Amino acid sequence: MRRGLYAEATVDAGRARFAAVLSALPSTAALSHRSAAALLGLPLLGAPATVVDVTVPGLPSRTRHGVVLHGRQLPAEAVTVTESLRTTEPLRTAVDLARVLPYPAAVCAADAALRRSGARPERLLEMLVGDRSPGSARARRVGAFCDPAAESPGESLSRVAIASHGLPAPQLQAWVGSLDEPVGRVDFLWPEHRTVGEFDGRTKYGDADALWAEKLREDRIRAAGFEVVRWTWRDAVGDFGPVADRLRAAFVRAARR
């Protein structure tokens, strides 16, 4: 795994590599950034990291032999133990990632970290009070936008795309209908425009029965007086412009009714 350190072939290579790196560092070190996200199960967009990120208080930041050392303070509450390895806890990991990742990817990680921890969205901004380190301004932008109600990376990316095209912010995971006759829960809702948005991930409809049930659900939503606009992963990560146009057209149709 590293010079002089070996692992049995049956051991998970990624975890063994993390353990090997930590074994060569002071006991105050903890996996962080993309390495912590991988261990914690937070979503990471893009190509897998080829380096190991570790935060080590008191050491200078540097990259050497495939290890990125981050010389930052690491209070006890910022560290947890996952699979017997010291790692930054989810919120600290999200803040670290927000400093270095592209904005959409950082939002995905922050939404997931908040959802997992159950913390208030404002907590990320509180963690950045007085921070003027490189990337802190970008991290504050992520902290101001993140929302634990986004239940998947696709929904997080959709939120970024919706905002970037100047559309009003939707309600997330909202119920359509009444307490007596609920129609269903939707991914995105613009109640003032009587419009529903649905992100269709690859695994959303596992079989023909699920697809048919979703069609009937959409029929009920339309019968309740709502426009329905759908989009896919390709739209969320690519050109969202056509979807934004369809949403605006839906707003207009609903207003005419």
The CATH number for 220's domain is: 3.40.960.10
- CA 256 distance to own-chain centroid: 36
Element (DSSP H or E) covering residue 111:
helix 103-117
pTM for the full predicted model:
0.89
Using the 3D structure, point to which of 126, 145, 164 is the last residue of a domain. Answer: 145
Token duo for residue 199 = 């992100």
- % of residues, the chain, pLDDT over 70: 97
Same-domain pairing of 131 and 191? no
> Rounded CA gap, 112 and 59, in Å?
30
| Beta-carbon contacts of residue 104 (< 8 Å; ≥ 6 apart) | 45, 156, 157, 160
> Rounded CA gap, 102 and 104, in Å?
6
**Can you give the pLDDT at residue 202?**
60
Domain assignment present for residue 218? The answer is yes
> Rounded CA gap, 170 and 163, in Å?
10
Q: What pLDDT digit, counting tens, does each position of 45-85 carry?
A: 987 788 999 999 998 999 988 999 999 999 999 999 999 99
**Can you give the pLDDT at residue 179?**
67
Q: Which amino acid is at 39?
A: L
Closest CA to 158 of 48, 251, 49, 243: 243
User: Residue 55 — φ and ψ, nearest 5°?
Assistant: -100, 125
Same-domain pairing of 131 and 35? yes
Please tell me the chain's helix, strand, coil percentages from 3-state DSSP, rounded to the nearest 5.
45, 20, 35
Asked whether the predicted pLDDT for residue 13 surpasses 90, the reply is: no
Asked whether the predicted pLDDT for residue 110 surpasses 60, the reply is: yes
Domain assignment present for residue 2? The answer is no
Predicted confidence band at 205 (pLDDT cuts at 50, 70, 90)?
Answer: low
Mean pLDDT for all residues in the chain: 91
Task: For residue 27, give its domain range.
Answer: 13-145
**Can you give the pLDDT at residue 14?**
85
**Can you give the pLDDT at residue 203?**
56
